[in-house]
Chains A and B, each alone.
Chain A
Amino acid sequence: MKQLLVFVLFAAMLCWILFSPIYKHVVIVRQAVLQQEVDYLLEVGASGTYGYIDGEMLRQSAERMARLGLRPEAVSFEIATTTGADGANPAAPVPRGTGIMLTISYPYENLFMIDRLIGIEPISSDDRMRAFGMKMSEYVP
């Protein structure tokens, strides 16, 4: 009887302790996936062959992320350059010396919902995790 009482007393806490690490791990892995995509797109896009990150590259990137369990329609990409030029136009690549900046963001969804069990207000599901990078273009016309 006493054991049952103890279990009921700690049920929420136990649930949180058992399952919250898995959710936290998913957050870390998703963040790492975003960062990896940023690094890859910048590596390719800023290389001497391209000098831009166009819609096709972004589509392929979203496809890769979909294979890792992310919803491709929720991924958002922002491309900017240090000079304000368009970094997504294959017809006008960004020349050497100009930096390409890429931000990929994805909503946290309900990954922090489990924190309610121990009374912590979770991060809103609309808040977004971000990965950012800036690399100088190598493209020479």
Chain B
Amino acid sequence: MHKLLLIIAMMAVWLTTHLLQVEEEMAMKTLSQSKRAVNRAAHAAAQQLDKTALSDGELRIHEGAAAQEAARYLAANLQLDGSGTPLPGSFLRHPVEVLVFEVINSEQSFPYVYRNETFEFEALFRQPGVVLIAKVVYPRAFSVIEPIEWEIRGAAELVAH
């Protein structure tokens, strides 16, 4: 009888180890995919040239359009609805919160070092650009790991040809 118990105990240990590994692999994937989404959102925001300023020969980011595009690209890449809540097909389950959205515009002198003490983020800009920090919560499928939350940082600068 004790052998039976041993088998069951071994199965439990084995299963937990594997669930842990699957969960960790999924978490890594979620993190890199969220990072890419943040990068693409920042990138899209940084491409929003202010046409009126451009006609005066100044490279400037249109802040309204930048915010709008950042939200749009973040939502599309993470499959969220307009308010940041994940859609049914998304790999996330918790709403994504944009913590920081800042446009480093042409009134700064470049190269410009952006520093954010709260989120411990530093970026060097050679052109006007955008900083985006979003909070993503990992949806745990099995409760074998501690809850994970990431503050994902991304920055992009204007690409001028």
A contacts, CB < 8 Å to B: 2-3, 6, 10, 13-14, 17, 21, 24-25, 28, 31-32, 35, 39, 42, 48, 96-97, 99, 101, 132-136, 138, 140
Contacts and interface: CB of A to CB of B under 8 A. Distances in A.
B159 A135 contact: no
Given A101-B76, A134-B77, 20 more contacts: A6-B3, A6-B4, A10-B11, A25-B21, A35-B29, A35-B32, A35-B33, A39-B36, A48-B161, A97-B47, A99-B44, A99-B73, A99-B76, A132-B77, A133-B36, A134-B40, A134-B76, A136-B44, A136-B47, A140-B161
Nearest to B161: A140
Given A25-B25, A28-B26, A134-B73, A17 B159 contact: no
Interface residues of B, number: 27
A138 B77 contact: no
Interface of B: 3-4, 7, 11, 14-15, 18, 21-22, 25-26, 29, 32-33, 36, 40, 43-44, 47-48, 69, 73, 76-77, 79, 159, 161
Contacts of A96: 47
Overall SS of chain A's interface: helix
B158 to A, nearest CB: 10
A21 B47 contact: no
A28 B159 contact: no
A40 to B, nearest CB: 11
Which 5 A/B pairs are nearest by Cβ-Cβ distance?
A: A136-B44, A21-B18, A134-B76, A135-B40, A140-B161
